[in-house]
Amino acid sequence: MDVPDYTPVDAPVPQGEVVIERACTAQDLGPKLNRTAADVVHFLLQAGEMLTATHSLSDDMIELFAEDIGANIRLVDPGEEQEVELQKLLEMDANETPDGPLRPPVVTVMGHVDHGKTLLLDRIRNANVVEGEAGGITQHIGAYQVEHNNKRLTFLDTPGHEAFTAMRARGARATDIVILMVAADDGVMPQTIEAINHAKAAEVPILVAVNKIDRDNADPQKAIAGVAEHGLVPEAWGGDTIFQEVSALKNLGIEELLDHLLLLAEVEDLRSDPQGRATGVVLESNLNIGRGPVATVLVQRGTLRVGDPLVAGASWGRVRALLDDHGENVSEAGPSTPVQVLGLSDVADAGDVFVVAASEKLANRVASKREHWQRQSSLGREAHALSGGARLEDIFSQIQRGEAATLNMVVKADVNGSLEAVTESLRKLERNEVKIRFVHRGVGGITENDVALAAASNATILGFNVRPDRKARELAETEKVEVRSYEIIYKLLEDIEAAMLGMLTPEFDEVVTGEAEVREVFRVPRVGSVAGCFVLNGVIKRGSGVRFLRQGTIIWKGEISSLKRFAEDAREVAAGFECGIGLSNFQDLKQGDVIETFENRLVERSLDN
């Protein structure tokens, strides 16, 4: 590219670290580094990027320019620095004391699907309605409060760990105790392990409920032993985890379960000051026709009142009405109380922290600033918030800085044996300065859930003979979670070791180019099986590499040998069309299987060393 002659400004760069906001423009960047906007634009032009002075810059461009002129910068999300200030401003003279009277524990129920979470939550709710509220109609607002032995308990009634992880990914901690549900007839299942890992990663105490003991084929001891294998050892066996056998169906053991919860809460000594302006977290939020945006919030500190000016993320408003979990109007809500808030400007995000501001004007100001930043961030967001431990690409710089580095990982594999093998071998790579933390390990394809967990805990996902599905891939992209998939164990180890040594070299990365689902299987004489497929994504090309997936697990890898549209040979078939795919040497096709095509592209690894 022809670059016109240009003499850049040659002033000294600022001393020390300069904080630069992501997605800033050349106009913003230049002056911060004692340069003009034109300097930045010209530099980028030379680097092959044609941009105007008011165009948002990517992280790479900003870093490239800073490096070129020898400036030391730190990239922050738009508003990140001011956010701290805003938060202070908001909370100024809000209650400062973390202590105060005891507050009800907030409990989440997690466990494998069908192990009885919903039924248990219903049973607890119906049998323990708070005194004086029995007449109210049950409203599912995402949480409820019950009374047991004259003490209150709050349950988040969205079972499952998605909500839990989503919250944690946003830095909110809404749960004090997790009830892990394991069905006695089924024992520990993949989601049981996931739930354990989620709760452990969040450092929330776990109480185990062994459910369905009424069943003939129930084997509580086996279920308990299964759970104990994952580090939750019952007191009777010398551990410190409380186990309670229950039957949600027959209402057995539930009183005892609640007793245990209250006991555990007492040990945790959960306190909060009901005085002062309220803060807490948004549990759910939606748009209600007629009522406008409705948010269910959990008050964590202070008391929320009708008329309070409130900010939750980028939404704000004066509280018009508060509804409790029976749909009744209430005038206020104290610590650990879930309540629906009407009067917000917008639908807040689950996990957003809410704060009552000193004035409506301040609430408005903070919300509009955040909205502006959110828009900015989505323009040039690249980095990921660090939350202790590092991802693969950051590990070496962390070691170099002399920090004790922990590499966070989510490992998924096709079968238990290979999962063990991968884990064992990875363990052997540990050294004094680098520890490996397995945030989650499991058998099966890489799911959206794995990605959410990895995002929340800043982990890299390693797949062995398994692949991410489309939703997982999309989430990984937006959340900037690195997903690495291997089929050869030594290659996996080699890469991890290289990353630790800061030598992760450019490599060929497989880029998924197309995805088709097998809808029907035909036997063609002399050709073998041909899969009647529907192309879900991208383009399927003849000759591309192909992986054959059954429920996320790779069962065959090779090449497409024939590709047809109707009876005609086709070179490629795009998403939304049907086609016939024949695979050389692979006949074991089944309906519902997924054919994934890929190409090898050279990917530069960037390591700041």
Looking at the Cβ atoms of 115 and 473, the one nearer to ligand GDP is 115
Interatomic CA distance for residues 239 and 300, integer angstroms: 31
Neighbours of 240 (CB within 10 A): 9
Closer residue to ligand GDP in complex, CB, 117/473: 117
Task: Name the residue nearer to ligand GDP (CB basis): 149 or 251.
Answer: 251
Q: Please state the closest distance from residue 144 (CB atom) to ligand GDP, in A.
A: 16
Give the single-character DSSP code of 445. Answer: S
Question: Distance between CA atoms of 581 and 250, rounded to whole angstroms?
Answer: 52
Q: What are phi and psi of 237, to 5 degrees?
A: -105, 15
| Helix (H) or strand (E) segment spanning residue 564 | strand 553-565
Please tell me what DSSP assigns to residue 337.
-
Closer by beta carbon to ligand GDP, 22 or else 115: 115
Nearer Cβ to ligand GDP (215/435): 215
For residues 586 and 541, give the distance between their C-alpha atoms in angstroms, rounded to a whole number. Answer: 18
Least distance to ligand GDP, CB of residue 219, Å:
14
Nearer to ligand GDP, 117 or 148 (CB): 117
Structure tokens at 544: 């591309």
Report the residue number, 257 or 504, with the smaller CB distance to ligand GDP: 257
Closest separation in Å from C-beta 111 to ligand GDP? 6
Shortest Cβ distance from residue 284 to ligand GDP (Å)? 17
- Of 156 and 459, the one with the shorter C-beta distance to ligand GDP is 156
Question: Which residues of the shown chain bind ligand GDP in the complex (CB under 6 A)?
Answer: 111, 113-119, 159, 211-212, 214-215, 247-249
Taking phi over 0 as left and psi of -120 to 50 as alpha, with beta for the rest, 93 belongs to left
How many whole angstroms separate alpha carbon 319 and alpha carbon 288? 16
- Name the minimum Å distance from CB 164 to ligand GDP: 14
Task: Select the residue whose beta carbon is closest to ligand GDP and give its number.
Answer: 116
- Cβ at position 125, least distance to ligand GDP in Å: 13
Q: Are strands 553-565 and 545-550 parallel, antiparallel or unpaired?
A: antiparallel
Q: Tell me the C-alpha distance between 318 and 337, whole Å.
A: 19
d(CA 395, CA 391): 6
Residue with tokens 């003979």: 465
Distance of closest approach, residue 191 Cβ to ligand GDP, in angstroms: 9
As a whole number of Å, the CA-based R_g of the chain is 28
In whole angstroms, the minimum distance from the beta carbon of 297 to ligand GDP comes to 24
Q: Which is nearer to ligand GDP, 114 or 393 (CB)?
A: 114
Closest CA to 119 of 285, 263, 252: 252
Least gap, CB of 246 to ligand GDP (angstroms): 7
Contact 430, 479 (CB under 8 A): no
Residue 194's nearest CA partner among 238, 158, 153, 164 is 164
Q: How many CA atoms lie within 13 A of 240 on its CB side?
A: 3
231 torsion bin: left (phi>0), alpha (psi -120 to 50), beta (else): left
